[in-house]
Structure 1
Amino acid sequence: MFENLREDWQTYERDWARQGLWVMLVYRFGRWRYGIANRFVRWPFSFLYRLLKLLSQILTGIDLPCEVRLGRRFLIEHFGGIIISGDAVFGDDCVVRNGVTVGLRHRGVRGAPVIGDRVDIGAGAKVLGPIRIGNDVVIGANAVVIRDLPDNCIAVGVPARIIPRPPDRDPATERTAAGQVA
């Protein structure tokens, strides 16, 4: 847990004011408590986790359950209105912005997205259903992704259409093409 916390501290530029860091601290605590084998010993930590999670949801507007599987260096760039299903899986170096939903496509139907490494999800985007998002993908602002995305692409629109990423991989060009402010 402490190695992850050190890495989170660096990912959030060592800034205690970043709400994403607060959420990650609560998330890491929630994951850590699952390692306590004795349920009677674990119970007070579970109670504390539930209180901290509720407090972080109220203060930040971010719902990140500890059941989500996150890769390393997960970055919540902007806070507010972020909902992530407990069944979701994220790879390493993913970025999520405000207004993003990653979760179930239909109520009562299981299956949340599995997201690869180095995926950048723009503000207001929705990634829904039992789909797979490849590595090195940019999902544009307000895009609605309801089908698999291959590696190395940009997804824009409602429903999202796929645009191959330019070979030069200039981040400023990618953000502009994805509908995000450069």
Structure 2
Amino acid sequence: MSYIFQDWNANKGNLKGRIVMVLFRLARPASYNKLFRIIWLPYLAFYKLLVEWFMGIELPHWTTVGEGFYLGHGHALVVNGCTVIGKNCFFRHSTTLGNVRREDGTYTGSPVIGDNVELGSNVCIIGEIRIGNNVRIGAGSVVVKDIPDNSIAVGNPARVIKTLQPLQQKPNYELDYEHC
């Protein structure tokens, strides 16, 4: 039960964020087992309809999201399903995390976001980008290159303007390659 509510406290005072993250955590186990996915298909359809179509938040159930995820103003969030998001991250509205379609029709990898990352509104992170731990990215930034740990980045293209004192060690990611 604690798995389902692992983002509850992070979204205190944010009912929409709480609802979306509980629904996401309920849908997530369907990405581990094909039989469970078939049994859980009606719920996955409900999740897609409510969260993506009505709430305007594209957060596929197979996306890897660490605990303590805060969904600020939860609207117009687009996350590629192969993106990896670390623990205690804070994403604001109109944020896009995606891959790049090459001229030959293939796609690049998706972003990997470290722990304790805060994204301002309208941030775009495109391609196989790595965002370190304890990073802040300012509103309207377009990230096309890796951002190191303990940094503040802003602009289009985003550039590091300040380095902060280290807070935590690097996360240990478990990638879900079945859907990527």
**TM-score (norm. length: structure 1):** 0.81
Provide the rounded CA distance (Å) in 2 between the counterparts of 1:8 and 1:137.
Answer: 20
Deviates more, 1:102-111 or 1:147-156: 102-111
The corresponding residue for 1:33 is: 30
Unaligned runs of 5+ in 2: 168-180
2:126 corresponds to 1:131: no
Provide the rounded CA distance (Å) in 1 between the counterparts of 2:85 and 2:131.
Answer: 9
Provide the rounded CA distance (Å) in 2 between the counterparts of 1:35 and 1:141.
Answer: 34
Letter of the structure 1 residue corresponding to residue 66 of structure 2: G
Question: How many correspondences in the alignment?
Answer: 164
Q: C-alpha displacement at 1:35, in angstroms?
A: 4.9
Tell me which of 56, 59, 70 is aligned to 1:61: 56
CA separation of 1:135 and 1:42: change in aligned 2, threshold 3 A: closer
Provide the rounded CA distance (Å) in 2 between the counterparts of 1:132 and 1:74.
Answer: 18
* Amino-acid identity (%): 36
Letter of the structure 1 residue corresponding to residue 157 of structure 2: P
Unaligned runs of 5+ in 1: 170-182
The corresponding residue for 2:173 is: none
Q: C-alpha displacement at 1:36, in angstroms?
A: 5.2
Q: Secondary structure at the match of 1:9?
A: coil
Letter of the structure 2 residue corresponding to residue 59 of structure 1: F
1:1-182 correspondence runs (5 A): 2-13=1-12, 15=13, 18-35=15-32, 39=35, 42-106=37-101, 108-166=106-164
Provide the rounded CA distance (Å) in 2 between the counterparts of 1:29 and 1:91.
Answer: 18
Provide the rounded CA distance (Å) in 2 between the counterparts of 1:36 and 1:127.
Answer: 29
Aligned-residue Cα RMSD (Å) equals 2.1
- The structure whose residues are more often helix, as a share, is 1
